[in-house]
Amino acid sequence: MLINHCCRPPNEFHAYLGDNNLGLVKQVVSSMYKRNIQRLTQTYLTLSLQDIANTVQLNSPKEAEMHVLQMIQEGDIYATINQKDGMVRFLEDPEQYKTCEMIERLDFSIQRIMRLSTKLTTMNEVMSCDPSYLGKVGKERQRFDYDDFDTVHSKSVVVGFFVFSDLKHSLPSRFSYLGEFSPLDLLFS
C-alpha cells in the first residue's frame, strides 16, 4: 500500500529489495505522509478525511484516519476526529512551555541534537578521508571547468547594509550612491 506510491514500476521495487533499502523507502514514504498532514494543520482548521486522503495521496479516507490517529497518539499533531461526518478538527498545541518539566525536556533535546551533530561531523571527517569512499565518489562526480562557476564582480555598490553588483545607475533616487568598493575593501574597512 505505501510502496505503491513510490515504486510503481516493478523493477524499482526489486531494486530497493535487492539493495536492502525497501525498509528505508517505506520509512521515507511514511514520513512524507506525516509531513504532508502536518502541513495541512498549518493551513486548515477543519478538513474532511476524504480531503486529507486526496491531498496527501492516500488510497482512502480510512487510511487517512489511521495516519491522523497515529499522529495524534504520537503527539505530532493535535486534532479531533468526528466519526459521524468524517471531519478532522485541528487544534493548537496545548503546551504553554512554561513548566520546569518542559524546560528540562527542551534542554535534553538540545543536548541530544548537539551530540548527534558532533557524531555526524566526526563521521563526515572519517568518510572524507576513506580511500574507498573517495574513489567511488570520484568516479561518479562530474568534473567542472572554471567557466562553469559564476564569477564575482570586482566592484560593487553599497547601499545601507546591502551590496549590489554594478547597480549604481539603476538605484532608486531615495538611495545615495556611496561609491565603488572592492569586496576586500568591505572586509577590511
Report d(CA 76, CA 98) in Å as an integer. 20
Q: What is the mean pLDDT of residues 88-97?
A: 89
Q: What is the mean pLDDT of residues 93-116?
A: 90
Cell of 24: 528505508
Least confident of 10-19, 67-76, 104-113, 162-171: 162-171
Most confident residue range from 22-26, 69-73, 127-131, 184-188: 69-73
Which pLDDT belongs to residue 141? 62
* CB 50, CB 61: distance < 8 Å: yes
Least confident of 24-28, 61-65, 162-166: 162-166
46-48: strand order across its sheet: 46-48, 87-90, 79-82
Which pLDDT belongs to residue 172? 46
Give Cβ neighbours of residue 36 (< 8 Å, ≥ 6 apart). 55, 56
User: Is residue 100 predicted with pLDDT exceeding 80?
Assistant: yes
CB-based burial label for 76 (10 Å; 0-12, 13-18, 19+): middle
What pLDDT band is residue 87 in, cutting at 50, 70 and 90?
Answer: very high
Q: What is the pLDDT of residues 168-178, one digit of tens each?
A: 444 444 444 44
Which pLDDT belongs to residue 147? 53
Position with higher pLDDT, 41 vs 138: 41
Report d(CA 154, CA 161) in Å as an integer. 18
What pLDDT band is residue 18 in, cutting at 50, 70 and 90?
Answer: confident
180-181 vs 156-159, strand pairing mode: antiparallel
In this prediction, what percent of the chain has a pLDDT beyond 70? 66
Which pLDDT belongs to residue 111? 95
Q: What is the pLDDT of residues 115-148, one digit of tens each?
A: 999 999 999 888 888 888 888 777 666 555 555 5
Report d(CA 90, CA 78) in Å as an integer. 6
